[in-house]
């Protein structure tokens, strides 16, 4: 099992420097962004698709540091009805499969996407709790869009011998184990499964270890990102905390597709993403790694740094230290 990091948090640095940082932290795996919500500064997509020499040189940069390229990440919304977002993110996903195949990389991380709620919609529509029959009508419509799209992705991935690993992420049609299973079953997928990111499961009240055991061989890949439930705040705001605000233009909001930007979290959030070990201790991370190892001893587990209380280097350092320690206790390294 390889423990590593997703390098999006180091996009302000060249790839070689990012890999050097991972190696110095004792990490042996890297996941590289291939499109979707954010750019591709660590992946020269055009060159890699057009030149065998470029691919050889690119992979050589990983070999020199002892950090393996274990996955490409193309998280976005390929089903977004916004014409400036959905088609681009969908094409990014198709292209990421092609790049992965060309590089011999066997894992592409993605999100299922989320359509609008009706024909002609221009914004995605997440149905959280379909207690009213009209919400089931919306879900029927959305699954009717998602299934043909993902049947095509399944076919492309199978032909390329690449497995697409869906992050179960709220504001997507697939956000928990049952919706992941539904997509796999309705598309007869062999090359579409789960990326096990516990951070999004924690705040939904899902036990990630139980989720791994439930999904079994459908878990293809994993992320190491923690969540801290702020107990005093969650008692008032609940886990469906909607108090986000727009990022002011003078603070350079991150564009995540079309005219859309990343919003600001509330200062007193009900829950927040933190570095490994800052939300849950070894009593979680040790059995988490053991459960993943039981599914696939060669699985990569890559840190995703989104802890706003720590800069990217300190966040990676703390996460790497705690993840490696858990790996040693789990006896999976």
pLDDT tens digits, one per residue of 107-151: 999 999 999 999 999 999 999 999 999 999 999 999 999 999 999
Task: Evaluate if residue 209 carries a pLDDT over 80.
Answer: yes
Please give the pLDDT value at position 284.
Answer: 98
Q: How many helices (H) and strands (E) does the chain have?
A: 11, 12
137: number of Cβ within 10 Å: 14
Question: What is the per-residue pLDDT across 288-321, written as a single tens digit (0 to 9) for each?
Answer: 999 999 999 999 999 999 999 999 999 999 999 9
Q: What dotted CATH number matches 2-227+274-330?
A: 3.20.20.150
Cβ distance 33 to 11 under 8 Å? yes
- The pair of structure tokens assigned to 259 is 């005219």
Q: Is 215 helix (H, G, I), strand (E, B) or coil?
A: helix
Residue 146's pLDDT is what? 98
Can you list the positions of beta strands (E) in the chain? 2-6, 29-33, 68-73, 107-110, 163-167, 192-196, 219-224, 226-229, 255-257, 260-261, 271-274, 300-303
User: Cα separation of 19 and 69, whole Å?
Assistant: 10
Rounded CA separation 32/28 (Å):
13
């Amino acid at each position: 099992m390889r423990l590593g990091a997703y390098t999006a948090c180091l996009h302000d640095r060249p790839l070689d420097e990012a890999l050097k940082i991972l190696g110095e932290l004792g990490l042996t795996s890297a996941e590289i962004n291939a499109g979707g919500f954010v750019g591709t500064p660590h992946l020269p997509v055009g060159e890699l698709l057009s030149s065998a020499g470029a691919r050889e040189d690119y992979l050589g940069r990983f070999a020199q540091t002892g950090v393996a390229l274990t996955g490409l990440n193309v998280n976005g919304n390929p089903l977004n009805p916004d014409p400036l977002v959905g088609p681009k993110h969908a094409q990014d996903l198709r292209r990421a499969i092609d790049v992965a195949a060309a590089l011999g990389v066997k894992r592409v991380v993605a999100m299922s996407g989320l359509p609008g709620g009706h024909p002609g919609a221009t914004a995605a529509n997440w149905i959280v709790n379909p207690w009213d029959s009209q919400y089931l009508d919306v879900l029927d419509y959305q699954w009717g869009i998602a299934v043909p799209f993902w049947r095509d992705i399944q076919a492309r991935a199978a032909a390329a011998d690449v497995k697409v690993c869906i992050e179960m992420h709220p504001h997507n049609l697939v956000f928990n184990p049952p919706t992941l299973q539904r997509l796999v079953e309705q598309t007869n997928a062999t090359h579409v499964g789960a990326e096990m990111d516990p951070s999004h499961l924690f705040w939904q009240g899902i036990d990630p270890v139980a989720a791994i055991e439930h999904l079994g061989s459908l878990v293809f890949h994993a992320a190491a990102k923690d969540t801290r439930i702020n107990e005093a705040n969650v008692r008032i705001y609940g886990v469906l905390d909607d108090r986000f605000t727009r990022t002011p233009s003078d603070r350079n909001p991150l564009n995540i597709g079309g005219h859309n930007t990343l919003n600001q979290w509330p200062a007193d959030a009900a829950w927040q993403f933190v570095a490994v070990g800052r939300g849950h201790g070894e009593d979680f991370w040790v059995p988490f790694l053991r459960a993943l190892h039981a599914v696939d001893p060669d699985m990569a587990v890559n840190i995703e740094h989104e802890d706003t209380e720590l800069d990217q280097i300190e966040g990676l350092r703390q996460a790497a230290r705690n993840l490696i320690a858990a790996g040693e206790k789990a006896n999976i390294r």
